[in-house]
Amino acid sequence: MNVFGDLLSGFGTVLEPQYLLYAAIGVTLGTFVGVLPGIGPALTIALLLPVTFSLDDPIGTFIMFAGIYYGAMYGGSTTSILLNTPGESASVATAIEGYQMARRGRARAALATAAIGSFVAGTISTLLLTLFAKPVASLATSFRAADYFALALLAMVAVTALVGRSLVRGLISLCLGLFLGLVGLDELTGQARFSFGTLELLDGIDVVVIIVGLFAIGETLYVASRLRRLPEHVTPLEPGGGGFGWLSRQDWSRSWRPWLRGTAVGFPFGALPSGGADIPTFLSYTYERHRAKNRAEFGRGAIEGVAGPEAANNAAFSGVLVPLLTLGIPTSATAAVMLAAFQNFNVQPGPQLFDKSPELVWALIASLYVGNVLLLALNLPLIRLWVRVLQIPRPMLYAGILVFATLGVYAATNSVIQVLIAYGIGVIGFFMRHFEFPIAPVILGAILGPMMELQFRRTLVLSNGDLSVFVTRPLTAVLLGLVVVAVLVPFLPRIVARLRGRSPASARRLAFGEDD
């Protein structure tokens, strides 16, 4: 009952006029930028992150920030369905059936089942977040320095092992992130590290610079380099038909079960290290395809193939917030960007967040319910407006993004050198994308690396340099054991093939797309 009392207090904050305005601005900005072709939630948040730094109210900022995240995820389904251009890998499953539905003259139904499914999944998963966040935070108060070291290591290794096609490339990306995170003064000794005699680097490389460089600049350069390969023809919307919410009675009957199943898959996977939204969306699509009575329709525009993955995609977002708010551990690149926003206001997510900043955290959770309603109101009636956004000339669009990113970095750091560093990181990010190096490990390494190092050294100080503390404490040992499991999971198909007497070379490495 205390949880619901805290939630009502959060609603009392969010429903104030100024915070409702923050929520409306957030979902509108998020949808507007997220609907642009080739742009996913991480790029959207990275692009708009410097804007939030000029705000003095952290509650309003995080309400707007959550709206940006939700809006970008909603907008991604529009480009997947109408352009067959997923803004991020979690929308690939939606594009498979959604684009085929649009080509068959059922674009409205595809957009409607995506929007309503996202609303249903977002509401249910936010309710689960409400129920589980505080108990998990209470449990996390028993964590010690060694546990936090092992947890950070688990998050980084799990993401590195499961995204991309090559473990070696993932580890190289992680090492790059760790290097960027270690630039500046050592927190314990005060010695300069990797500053190369430059005063500007003594404070380290701002996380905003890294995020904007990799996503807003690097991703934009990569997408712009592929302009000729991207489809420019937007599938037109058919005239409005009958049915409630653009869905016929048969569409509702075929959609509501996939919505619930997608929610059940998305939330727990989002809460796991390296979970994100990629794994549950493809699991949901695969399950719907195998259990469907009309399997022949899959690949030609089955509405279940849009409803399930979109529900799983949005449910995973609330799941991602569980470890982020309760442990301070991001499990995806986008969550890492959100963690950077918290740190900008000197707010550290973790076990103490619910005690030190209860008004902020419960207002944030309550805003997710409000944002879901606002997004449903934006996506269905105003869909023609978002289709017009897709018609912006591509050269002007991406040039504008680069200008906005440059101004954002300069406004956040007030340093030309930091702007140059952002562009240098952006060029590195461009080549990483071109040669299929995953981006998420870089972000997690840069953010979690310094925290992991600090907790490791703190553990050694408390144990007088005894490394056995990492295996004698049960929780730490379990987390380190999960690190080993995370490294082995991608090679599970080959291990199974060898046990069954088949050639391991015939089994592909288990990998999932990167959750931006």
Cβ atoms 216, 71 nearer than 8 A: no
pLDDT tens for residues 408-430?
788 777 788 889 999 999 999 99
Cα separation, 68 vs 44, in Å, equals 8
Tell which wins on pLDDT, 71 or 235.
Answer: 71
pLDDT for 430-469, tens place per residue? 999 888 888 878 888 888 888 888 889 989 888 888 888 8
Closest CA to 258 of 134, 22, 45, 94: 94
Q: What's the helix, strand, coil split of the chain in %, to 5?
A: 75, 0, 25
Position 516 pLDDT exceeds 50: no
Q: Please give the model's pTM, rounded to 2 decimal places.
A: 0.79
CA dist 362 and 26 (Å) reads 18
* Token pair for 423: 């562009």
pLDDT in tens, 426-435: 999 999 988 8
| Segment 281-328, tens digit of pLDDT | 878 888 888 887 777 788 788 899 999 998 998 888 888 888 888 888
